[in-house]
Structure 1
Amino acid sequence: MRGYALNAMCYSFNDPANRAAFKADEATYCRRYGLDAEQQRAVEQRDVLAMIAAGGNIYYLAKLAGIFGLNVQDLGAQQTRSTVEQFKQRLLEAKETAHV
């Protein structure tokens, strides 16, 4: 239940009008969904790890990340505390060892 507000907000981004409303005034949109201070700070800082720690579900957070111009590899890099290039390299290495 801890991440309910954050996840509900992210789910709302299925509607283009909600994405536009968020982009127009992020703080008001976050308050509309009842994000707590920790969640709102994580959103403001674009800190996916902090959003997860605040109860965010990565599947819902991916919708928010798209608004920020981030893709799944960007999220993976943040989660593994690496650069996007390092994360891509890890994926390639994992793929190679899986086929051995």
Structure 2
Amino acid sequence: MAGPKDIHEYLADFDDIPGTRVYTAQRARQGYHLNQFAMSLMKPENRQRWLADERAYIDEWPMTEDQKQAVLDRDYNRLLDLGGNIYFMAKVFSTDGLSFVQAVSTMTGMSVPEYQAMMMAGGRSPEGVRSIREKR
């Protein structure tokens, strides 16, 4: 009989879920400045500065170059990998004039109508790959 998992084994299991990024304390620490940047877009004057010169505005934030490039590329999946919180990233796509559905559909490789239809039908099927490690 196996004993309880230690915290590192437990947290590693989160990375085994295909297509899912669990927002852990580690991701929160990694993405702190990224998420603070996104939250800054709540202020109209910051949105204006961002829209006028994205690179200049983002360079004011102490983020990694990978994080900055993912923002500039609007690569939301990469942003989640780099510590972004989807609810904070919503400030970025809202500033771009995108709805949550429009932005999230880009993360799935589906068109907006395809994504909406999938969600209206109950979301992704629970059938299929459930573990990256075990390929099952």
Q: Which stretch has the larger CA shift, 21-30 or 70-79?
A: 70-79
Unpaired stretches in structure 1, ≥5 consecutive residues: 96-100
Any residues of structure 2 matched to 1:81-100 within 5 Å, and which? Answer: 81-94=109-122
Contact 1:5–1:35 at 8 Å: present in 2 too?
Answer: yes
Query: 4+ residue stretches of structure 1 with deviation over 6 A?
Result: none
- Scaled by the length of structure 2, the TM-score of the pair is 0.65
Identity %: 29
Deviations 1:24-63 (A, max 9, x none): 1111111111121111111111111111111100010001
Within the candidate set 86, 97, 106, 1:69 is matched to 97
Question: Partner of 1:79 in structure 2?
Answer: 107
SS state at 2:122 partner: helix
Give me the whole-angstrom Cα distance separating, in 2, the residues matched to 1:73 and 1:55: 21
2:88 is matched with 60
In 1, Cα distance between the equivalents of 2:80 and 2:61? 17
Displacement of 1:79: 3.0
Counting only pairs closer than 5 Å after superposition, residues 1-100 of structure 1 correspond to structure 2 as 1-94=29-122
Instruction: Decide which moves more: 8-17 or 31-40.
Output: 31-40
Q: TM-score, normalised by structure 1?
A: 0.86
Give aligned pairs, total. Answer: 95
Instruction: Name the Cα RMSD after superposition.
Output: 1.4
Distance across 2 between alignment mates of 1:58 and 1:79: 11
Task: In structure 2, list runs of 5 or more residues that go unmatched.
Answer: 1-28, 124-136
